[in-house]
């Protein structure tokens, strides 16, 4: 399967690029740890923790722009329960300078639980287990392979369910390239 997919993906990318000769596959991978808090006050205290693996798919070196595939997992933590989640998606990154990386991504998420009951009758319902998210990140290279930065992340179910609250979070991110 891999031997078929790689040529098909390469051919598609070559047709999209006017600088086809500068298009190359990357071998630089990254692991990121992030923790987030909601942008606005919630009726149930919520926080997130995630670990994410990013595998570059291709890059246009002339413009320092690349696409990567990401997958990972984490927890959606409330005052009464911690719900594991998994996710996968694609990211677009731009590295205008050696010390800065800007990244936007979109992911599909699966929550192990979407309803959270708290004390005094308070509850939070994300509508269903399947969720979508997008995020925008800015990371600084503090050492050759270590990064530190900020991520704004939005998660909702995109209207798939009757209830569709969003969770927007500010996240602190630590990254390691290898």
Q: Is the pLDDT of residue 36 over 70?
A: yes
Residue 39 belongs to domain spanning: 21-177
**What pLDDT was estimated at residue 119?**
81
Enter the tokens of residue 64: 């320092």
Global confidence as pTM: 0.83
**What pLDDT was estimated at residue 16?**
43
CATH number at residue 157: 2.40.160.20
Residue 44 placed within a domain: yes
Which of these, 7, 101, 100, 98, lies nearest to 58 by C-alpha position? 7
Average pLDDT value over all residues in the chain: 87
Average pLDDT over residues 126-132: 97
Sign of CA dihedral 178, 133, 64, 1: positive
**What pLDDT was estimated at residue 121?**
82
Q: Is the pLDDT of residue 124 over 60?
A: yes
Average pLDDT over residues 116-122: 85
Q: Is the pLDDT of residue 17 over 60?
A: no
**What pLDDT was estimated at residue 24?**
40
Residue 173 placed within a domain: yes
Q: Is the pLDDT of residue 108 over 90?
A: yes
**What pLDDT was estimated at residue 39?**
97
Q: Number of folded domains in the chain?
A: 1
Enter the tokens of residue 110: 């699966």
Q: Is the pLDDT of residue 27 over 80?
A: no
Residue 172 placed within a domain: yes
């Amino acid at each position: 399967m891999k031997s078929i997919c790689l040529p098909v993906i390469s051919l598609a990318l070559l047709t999209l690029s006017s600088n086809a000769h500068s298009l190359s596959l990357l071998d630089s991978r990254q692991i990121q740890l992030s923790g987030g808090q909601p942008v606005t006050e919630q009726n149930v205290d919520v926080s997130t923790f995630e670990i994410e693996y990013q595998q570059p798919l291709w890059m246009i070196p002339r413009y320092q722009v690349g696409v990567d595939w990401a997958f990972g997992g984490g927890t959606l933590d409330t005052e009464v329960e911690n719900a594991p989640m998994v996710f996968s998606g694609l990211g677009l990154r731009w590295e205008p300078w050696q010390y800065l990386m800007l990244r936007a991504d979109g992911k599909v998420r699966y929550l192990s639980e979407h309803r959270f009951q708290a004390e005094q009758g308070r509850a939070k319902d994300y509508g269903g287990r399947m969720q979508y998210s997008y995020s925008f990140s800015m990371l600084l290279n503090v050492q050759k392979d270590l990064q530190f930065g900020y991520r704004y992340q939005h998660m909702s179910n995109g209207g798939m369910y009757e209830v569709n609250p969003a969770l927007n979070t500010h996240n602190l991110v630590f990254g390691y390239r290898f």
